[in-house]
Amino acid sequence: MQGSVRFFQALTGFRKSLILLTVLLTAFAFHTAKERLFTAEGRLIVDSTVEPFMARGSGTYEYFKEMREVFGSEEVMVVALQPQAGSRFDYRFFTTHEELRKQLQAGLPDVEEVTAVTNIPRINGNCAGKSFFHVEGVASVCEPILEKYAFQLECLKNPPTGIVTTDDSEDGLVGDLDEDFNEDEAEDPEGGLDSGLDEEFSAEEEDDESYGESESEPEAVLSYSETNICTPDILAKSEAQIISEADQHMASIFKEIKEHELIRRDLISPDYATVALLVKFSTQAVPSSPETQETLQRILKAHSPAKTQVSYSGQARTEYLSAKTIVSDIARILPWSLGLIILTLALTFRSVRGVLIPVVVVMFGIVWTFGFIGLTGFQLNMVTMVLAPLLISVGSAYIIHFMNQYYHEANKNPGMGTDQISRNTIGNIAIPMMVTALTTLAGFAALSTSPIPAVKEVGLFACFGIATIIILSLSFVPALLTYLPLPKVKESTAKPGVIDQFLTAIGNLIGKYSTKFIFFWVAVMVVAFMGMKHVTVNSQSKNFSEDSSIEMDLAFIQSNLAGTTTLRLVFSGKDTPEQLQTAQAMYGLQNLKQWILQAEEENVLSQIEGLRVDKVYSAVEYLDLYRNGMDALKDEEVVSFFEESEKQGFPRFLSPDGDLLQMNIRMKTEGTSALLELREVLGPQVTHFLPELAVQYTGSGVLSSESADNIATGQIQSLLTALGIIFVLLSAMFLSFRMGLIALYPNIVAIAVFFGTLGWLDIPIGVTISIIASIALGIGVDDTIHFLSHFNENLKRTHDEKQASLVSLQHLGRPMICTTVALGLGFAVFASADMGSQVLFGVLTAYTLTVCLITDLNFLPSVMVKTKLMTAWDYVSLNYSQTFIESIGLFRGMNVRQTKLMTLSAYPKELAAGELLFSEGELGHDLYIIMSGGIDIYLDQQFHGENKVLAQLPPGVSFGEMGLFRHMKRSASAQANQDTKLLVLNEKVLTRLQKRYPEIASLLFKNLARRLAALTKDLDLKSAEQQLLSKKHRSLTHFLKFWEDDTEDTPLLEVVNQIIADGKLTQEERKELFEMVYKDGTVSKQEQEQLDRLKQMIETGELEEVKPVLSDIFQDMSHHQLNEVCEFFHLKEIPANVRLWTEEDYGDSMLVILEGDFNLNKQVDGQNVVMRTATPGDLVGAISILGGENQRTSTLESLSPAKVLFVDMAGLDRLYKAKPKLATQLYFNIVCFLSNRLEQETQILYEGSSK
């Protein structure tokens, strides 16, 4: 990434070319978008169909398209007509109804057929193949009844010359009638107009001669008038008589229509109060296009019957109105979104450049994105339409971070040139921006794995747009800023602003209640997960309010006619296609249809929530009419039926090649799960009734329902993909899976809260809502990365996680709040949209981002108070060679990776030549490793009269061990004798290493133990000599005191009496007692008597001996862990008064005392000196083993029966490989033990020197 930083910094040297290139590319993108995404009239081209929402890849969509080519469209587009109260189905109504049908047939583009009660053919009887509005007349000729009465009325209006009419007042009748029609049409309400699709009966009717007559039906009026004349009988009638006669005839026909079972719920409602027209488009048509829908609305307004409620519904209307509404919403939202961003920028930066530059960059990014869409040949759809406001919201966050850093650099370096300010800004912000870009892009790129094209496209194009804005922010913006004067330096004000006060309050709360914040968000996660169990998926969620015309029309049609959802079953023979055209297959279809319609009894369909089956279309009902029943059906009759069905005007159920047979189910469904449940329960029934046939299910309803399933699985897949990618990036960035999880957790909480909210509020996941989680995850992690990046830098300076966390919060809190406000407001403006899905998308996205901000402002700092951060760029910046590693004593045995990780776990510190590190007498807490330079250790003149240099420490040396492990006061001062780099280790570092990198911690503690062993060994002899002098001094004092007053109780007697008075012997008292007895190397008679006295009282139970708790070498280990450690070493029991080894013997193991007591003796000037008494939990022999010479430094003798553990280096190596965490704890305890020994030896020398 450093190379990328240098690349962007170098680009500022070509600022003129860069600005010109950016402008030219923007102009090209604008031209491309204008040419490819807009019509010549300037209307935005939007794919309003549902096909972008249909899942791809499984073959279902391809099969759906194939079946449409074979059988035509199965979609239903319905125009429902219901006369108002007081009106009826009379001649006037049916005349206008037929005229409306003809206008729809002729006026709508790519219409295959419009079916109505006025042209539905009779299946049998007189005038079979003709419509119900044909009656048998003279010479058995079927007359078109509507045309007949229209002709008679025309005769009254324009009587032939020479024929005297009986009533001149009836002249102009039809003209008056037309005027009445026009007046009624003007009264017709305009509210719920619609159009729809359905598969219905073919207009091709009859065999040969009659079929030809049917095709010439549009010329029926002309042919009727040409073959008939205005007779005196007609002219003798009045208008009222003709209308009355026509109405009577209509009533008779309508009665016959009511008895036609096949059209019930299709063309006429069960209560006979509503009739319908069914519009079927060709497979090449786009019925949702503005041209089709607007033409439909004009026709309905101009030609609908008077005093009639007109409703129309269908998928095409929903698609058209959705697209139109979205375009309208976006046109309204974009200015609002841009305005809110401008307001946010103005409040954040309070300067013109702080507003204009971000707005220009974001708008350029949008233009480039839409130019790219046009260039690649894609069309906008109802999801990708949100790209513009999305890019405004997301893109502004990046440019706000860049501009915030620019102002920070300008304020920090007031005398620096504009070029250098731009370079510094890039240097400090580029890496965090690129890392956050990767995580944001990962969130959107995860959407590209969705099988739903609309979701996939929004992911891909959002990635392009965000990448464009980031590139422009790091190239175009710095180049532009070099031409502008630097902003004025802001003077620090004494009174902080509202945001600063808020951040200070948050910081104070975090300092006090960081642990409670963490537990709070864990509890929130639990509640959210409980809500997630109630989340549902529904891709058919309503986009319009219940009182909108489209919803009211749909409700009216579905309550009076058949539902608008269709399921197509396509059968094929398991063995041969001929199995479709058998009597057995027809009987099976009949039984299946009866089961679906629940003709005999209730079945499992009634248990499917949100399902109402209205109609089943199959070949069976037409076969039944064709042969007047289904009894004794033969295979030959079935074959004959399918051969004649097209001639009879029956719908197509068998494919032209005879390989496929269809059945359609029309229903009303609520939600997408009902259709899938229906498909599941149909499977066993098809197998039961049609065992010889195979079935496949298709239709737009099935695809929509499967898309809902794909939304659920795709949501999980996309989210897991995004989480995985971001987790890997964060783990690589912070060199730890644990830190990757910590960095990701605030955003996981936000996503969990989002899904939990959906569950608790019963909001189903739709296509639009399904992309929120990935968007919020990609965006939300940005603030996290920026915060952690600054936290890491502050930690290097402060060496204190709490301070670094609070400083980072103060520095980044403002841009974090501002960017989230900008993003939130940008998405919140969707609340003003008319479509419900867009409202939910905007509000829920803003809500989720707000939760992300809240967690970033309190949970993240709370966690960082308790952890240490390291980054990948820090790791790469360390250039360690093996030679360098070997020169550092505490790095011994580590490889390059382990050394770098240990370095990054500690704190760096730099000192200038002559700079003081610590002073003599200060309380120490840290250990230092000299990485380069040098340190002088000296006695301070404040205490010694002059500065006396004790040592000059070169690189590789560590010092300050006693400050780290014992928190002792510094015995001398330290300062740099040249520019020096140190590595600082404290208790937090050691604890962190133990938890995060136990293998590295084990090697570090091992090296520390060696270091402490060497220091202790150097003091050991001096301590022995000092103890010999102390022994002689005590003996002389005791002798003189004895002769002065031989009746006075000795100190030993006082201790023993106090132990007896307390009633118990503790381990501390035992150790004090033994030191008093054995310190002079001899045991007097009086001392032995007191020891025997205590022993007897313990045996008789008069005195309780508190058993040892191994709190030294085995501290912080459980009993189970202790047993595990013992498995790697040798356990042995030792009798009393046994010498285990002698001073200067060879030894290859240390001794851990589990039970019993030992004396360690040393020969000094020919005399035996007891160095110390070792009790349970002590470690003996570590100095000689860890020091590397394997030579015993003292003699070890048992004082009582004992149990010991022999710990050798080979066993420690085995423990390290098998159980690194356990080995780390043991080494740590050894280090603590040796530091304690070192303190004791130092104290002995200090006490001796003070006497």
Q: What is the pLDDT of residue 496?
A: 63
Range of the domain at 1100: 1016-1249
Among the listed ranges 103-117, 186-200, 735-749, 1205-1219, which one has the minimum average pLDDT value? 186-200
Tell me the one-letter amino acid at 99: E
Cα separation, 1240 vs 1251, whole angstroms: 17
* Residue 212 scores a pLDDT above 60: no
* Residue 292 scores a pLDDT above 60: yes
* Residue 636 scores a pLDDT above 50: yes
Q: What is the pLDDT of residue 172?
A: 42
682-702: average pLDDT: 91
Question: Phi and psi of 1098, rounded to 5°?
Answer: -65, -40
* Residue 881 scores a pLDDT above 50: yes
Q: Is 1197 a domain residue?
A: yes
Residues 801-857: tens digit of each pLDDT: 778 888 888 877 877 887 788 778 777 888 877 777 778 888 888 888 888 888 888
Q: Is 461 a domain residue?
A: no
* Residue 1024 scores a pLDDT above 90: no
* Residue 493 scores a pLDDT above 70: no
Q: What is the pLDDT of residue 296?
A: 92
More confident residue, 1107 or 743: 743
Q: What is the pLDDT of residue 1093?
A: 86
More confident residue, 1109 or 536: 536
* Residue 444 scores a pLDDT above 50: yes
Q: How confident is the model at residue 873 (pLDDT cuts 50, 70, 90)?
A: low
Q: What is the pLDDT of residue 725?
A: 80
Cα separation, 408 vs 413, whole angstroms: 9
Q: Which of 333-337, 424-428, 656-660, 924-928 has the highest mean pLDDT?
A: 656-660
Q: What is the pLDDT of residue 729?
A: 78
Q: Average model confidence (pLDDT) for the chain?
A: 80
926-955: average pLDDT: 85
Q: What is the pLDDT of residue 634?
A: 92
Q: How confident is the model at residue 101 (pLDDT cuts 50, 70, 90)?
A: very high
Is there a single domain that holds both residue 895 and residue 826?
Answer: no
End-to-end Cα spacing for the chain: 64
Q: What is the pLDDT of residue 1204?
A: 92
Count Cβ atoms below 10 Å from residue 939 Cβ, excluding itself: 17
Q: How confident is the model at residue 689 (pLDDT cuts 50, 70, 90)?
A: very high
Is there a single domain that holds both residue 156 and residue 275?
Answer: yes
Q: How confident is the model at residue 1078 (pLDDT cuts 50, 70, 90)?
A: low
Q: What is the pLDDT of residue 234?
A: 84
* Residue 75 scores a pLDDT above 80: no
* Residue 1038 scores a pLDDT above 60: no
Q: What is the pLDDT of residue 342?
A: 85
Question: Phi and psi of 33, rounded to 5°?
Answer: -65, -40
Q: Is 454 a domain residue?
A: no
Q: What is the pLDDT of residue 362?
A: 92
Cα separation, 475 vs 13, whole angstroms: 10
142-157: average pLDDT: 88
Domain boundary among 666, 698, 730: 698
What is the secondary structure of 946-984 as a DSSP string? S-EEEEEE-TT-EE-HHHHHT-PBPSSEEEESSSEEEEE
Is there a single domain that holds both residue 314 and residue 210?
Answer: yes
Is there a single domain that holds both residue 99 and residue 130?
Answer: yes
Cα separation, 977 vs 334, whole angstroms: 64
Strands in 1149-1155's sheet, in edge-to-edge order, are 1130-1134, 1202-1208, 1149-1155, 1179-1180
* Residue 178 scores a pLDDT above 50: no
Is there a single domain that holds both residue 847 and residue 886?
Answer: no
Is there a single domain that holds both residue 657 and residue 755?
Answer: no
Q: How confident is the model at residue 998 (pLDDT cuts 50, 70, 90)?
A: confident
Residues 114-144: tens digit of each pLDDT: 999 998 888 777 787 788 888 887 667 888 8
Is there a single domain that holds both residue 976 and residue 1120?
Answer: no
Residues 999-1017: tens digit of each pLDDT: 888 888 888 888 888 777 7
Domain boundary among 320, 352, 374: 320
Q: Which of 583-597, 724-738, 1044-1058 has the highest mean pLDDT?
A: 583-597
Domain CATH for 652: 3.30.70
More confident residue, 757 or 648: 757
Domain boundary among 816, 848, 872: 872
* Residue 1132 scores a pLDDT above 60: yes
Q: What is the pLDDT of residue 491?
A: 59
- b/e code 942-980 from CB counts within 10 Å (16+ = b): eeeeeeeeeeebebbbbbbbbbbbeebebebbbbbeeeb
Q: Per the structure block, which two tokens stand in for 373?
A: 């869409």
Q: Is 85 a domain residue?
A: yes
Q: What is the pLDDT of residue 181?
A: 38
Q: Per the structure block, which two tokens stand in for 542?
A: 């309503």
Domain CATH for 1239: 2.60.120.10
Is there a single domain that holds both residue 621 and residue 689?
Answer: yes
Is there a single domain that holds both residue 600 and residue 665?
Answer: yes
Among the listed ranges 55-59, 169-173, 499-503, which one has the minimum average pLDDT value? 169-173
Q: What is the pLDDT of residue 21?
A: 95
Q: Which of 9-23, 482-496, 507-521 has the highest mean pLDDT?
A: 9-23
Is there a single domain that holds both residue 526 and residue 558?
Answer: no
Is there a single domain that holds both residue 128 and residue 168?
Answer: yes
Residues 735-767: tens digit of each pLDDT: 677 778 877 888 888 888 988 998 898 888 776
Is there a single domain that holds both residue 1118 and residue 976?
Answer: no
Burial group, residue 801, by CB count within 10 angstroms (0-12, 13-18, 19+) = buried
* Residue 872 scores a pLDDT above 90: no
Q: What is the pLDDT of residue 32?
A: 94
Among the listed ranges 385-394, 913-922, 1021-1030, which one has the minimum average pLDDT value? 1021-1030
Question: Considering its fold, how many domains does the chain have in total?
Answer: 5
Q: What is the pLDDT of residue 1241?
A: 64
pLDDT over 90, % of the chain: 19
Q: What is the pLDDT of residue 62?
A: 84
Q: What is the pLDDT of residue 176?
A: 40
Q: Is 1229 a domain residue?
A: yes
295-323: average pLDDT: 87
Contact 432, 406 (CB under 8 A): no
Contact 19, 480 (CB under 8 A): yes
E strand or H helix that includes residue 555: helix 549-560
CA 1084 to chain centre: 79
* Residue 215 scores a pLDDT above 60: no
Residues sharing a CB contact under 8 Å with residue 962, sequence separation 6 or more, in sequence order: 924, 968, 971, 1235, 1238, 1239, 1242
Q: What is the pLDDT of residue 935?
A: 93
Residues 1217-1251: tens digit of each pLDDT: 898 888 888 888 888 888 777 766 665 554 444 44
* Residue 313 scores a pLDDT above 60: yes
Q: Is 365 a domain residue?
A: no
* Residue 946 scores a pLDDT above 80: no
Residues 269-280: tens digit of each pLDDT: 988 999 999 998
Q: What is the pLDDT of residue 260?
A: 82
Tell me the one-letter amino acid at 424: N
Q: Is 237 a domain residue?
A: yes
E strand or H helix that includes residue 339: helix 315-349
Cα separation, 1134 vs 1165, whole angstroms: 30
